[in-house]
């Protein structure tokens, strides 16, 4: 069975195949509550009881009010689904057909008895639904399940199966053609299509494959909006779908590559700006004599590992380093006892000698301050 949705108008057309119940139920639940009411247009020859029941149960439990319009045919299980409507209307030329659920089974006597029991349970369920709608006694309603019972729209109104008759939306001849068909509300394992397409048995597999293909296409369209934007629907060819999907994949791949390149360029630009900022901070620290030029690589590494802000915080806490000659002249160099070479010579000549090997740079500064040249 196909489902199409436009605003608050829903179309349920076609045979109810095994598996349709789950798919259609999911589609109905996804739109439930979007409108205060939905008009469900029905045209079906019938099909699987279990899937039809799932569709019926979904419709009657929706928060939105459901009204059913029989556009052409509500036969077999379709006549049960229609009962989910708060109000049921049939087109003037529409038909309704009721009968008991049918099924077939291969197996032992117990298998046959079990299937018969299941069919009777289904029949009882059908009777309850028809009785509730028509207001008639169950004994009278049971007649609706004896053989195939066809009702025109006006007959169905008199029988209490529908609430009103509306103008036609389908060609009358197309509807009447279905009246000669043998249609079964069936169990899984029964093959209503064998009856429906009895005149052309070879067409069964074609119809089954087409239905499955249409369902898959509907699911693709519901997931990928671009397919509908390209004008595709469930009737479009498989080639058209493959081409559209292939084009979209190619387009998405190109967009992905473009985004990856853009992201790479952004990262490279940010990395360059970050390194330039770190370099600038370290060069400024050297210029401000907070660090020595020999320490540049160390602080560049700190910046790259911890970031610009962390490096900036570290450098901001450093004070300017005094030149060693200034330290010597002020007497503030670490471990320096005396200010000048002469003081060392006079008061601690051995200490001056030791300074030569322990701190040659400091020794050289004292010597240079005394004699004006390097030692």
**Residue whose C-alpha is closest to residue 77's, from 42, 41, 119, 49:** 49
Return the bridge partners of 47, or none.
Answer: 16
CA distances in angstroms from 286 to 149, 283, 301, listed in the order given: 102, 5, 15
**Token duo for residue 333:** 């160099």
Q: Please list, in sequence order, all residues whose beta carbon lies within 8 angstroms of the beta carbon of residue 115, skipping any fewer than 6 positions away.
A: 103, 105, 187
Tell me the C-alpha distance between 281 and 287, whole Å.
10
Question: Is 99 a known active-site residue?
Answer: yes
Beta-carbon contacts of residue 46 (< 8 Å; ≥ 6 apart) = 15, 16, 52, 75, 76, 77, 78, 79, 97, 183, 184, 185, 186, 192
β-pairing verdict for 87-91 and 65-75: parallel
Catalytic residue among 25, 41, 48, 76: 76
CA distance 78 to 90: 13
For this structure, is 294 an active site residue?
no
Active-site residue identified among 91, 99, 131, 178: 99
d(CA 107, CA 140): 34
Contact 76, 45 (CB under 8 A): yes
Could you list the active site residues?
Answer: 76, 99
């Amino acid at each position: 069975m196909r489902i199409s949705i436009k605003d608050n108008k829903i179309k349920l057309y076609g045979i109810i195949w095994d598996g349709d119940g789950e798919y259609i139920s999911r589609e109905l639940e996804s739109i439930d509550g979007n409108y205060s009411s939905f008009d469900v247009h029905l045209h079906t020859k019938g099909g699987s009881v279990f899937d039809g029941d799932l569709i019926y149960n979904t419709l009657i439990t929706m928060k939105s009010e459901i009204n059913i319009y029989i556009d052409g045919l509500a036969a077999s299980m379709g006549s049960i689904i229609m009962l989910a409507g708060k109000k049921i209307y049939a087109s003037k030329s529409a038909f309704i057909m009721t009968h008991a659920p049918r099924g077939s089974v291969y197996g032992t006597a117990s298998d046959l008895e079990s299937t018969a029991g299941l069919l009777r349970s289904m029949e009882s369920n059908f009777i309850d639904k028809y009785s509730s709608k028509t207001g008639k006694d169950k004994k009278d309603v049971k007649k609706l399940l004896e053989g195939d019972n066809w009702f025109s729209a006006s007959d169905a109104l008199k029988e209490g199966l529908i609430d009103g008759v509306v103008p036609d939306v389908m060609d009358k001849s197309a509807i009447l053609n279905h009246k000669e068909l043998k249609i079964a509300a069936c169990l899984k394992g029964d093959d209503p299509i064998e009856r429906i397409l009895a005149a052309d048995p070879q067409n069964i597999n074609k119809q089954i494959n087409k239905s499955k293909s249409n369902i898959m296409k509907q699911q693709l369209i519901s997931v990928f909006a671009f397919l509908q934007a390209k004008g595709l629907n469930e009737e479009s060819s498989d080639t058209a779908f493959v081409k559209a999907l292939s084009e979209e994949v190619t387009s998405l791949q190109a967009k992905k590559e473009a985004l990856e390149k853009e992201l790479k360029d952004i990262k490279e630009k940010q990395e360059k700006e970050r390194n330039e900022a770190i370099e600038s901070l370290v060069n400024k620290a050297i210029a401000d004599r907070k660090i020595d030029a020999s320490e540049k690589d160390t602080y560049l590494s700190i910046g790259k590992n911890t970031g610009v802000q962390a490096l900036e915080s570290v450098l901001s806490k450093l004070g300017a380093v005094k030149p060693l000659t200034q330290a010597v002249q002020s007497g503030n160099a670490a471990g320096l006892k005396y200010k000048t070479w002469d003081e060392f010579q006079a008061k601690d000549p051995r200490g001056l000698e030791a300074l030569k090997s322990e701190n040659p740079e400091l020794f050289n500064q004292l010597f240079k301050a005394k004699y004006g040249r390097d030692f």
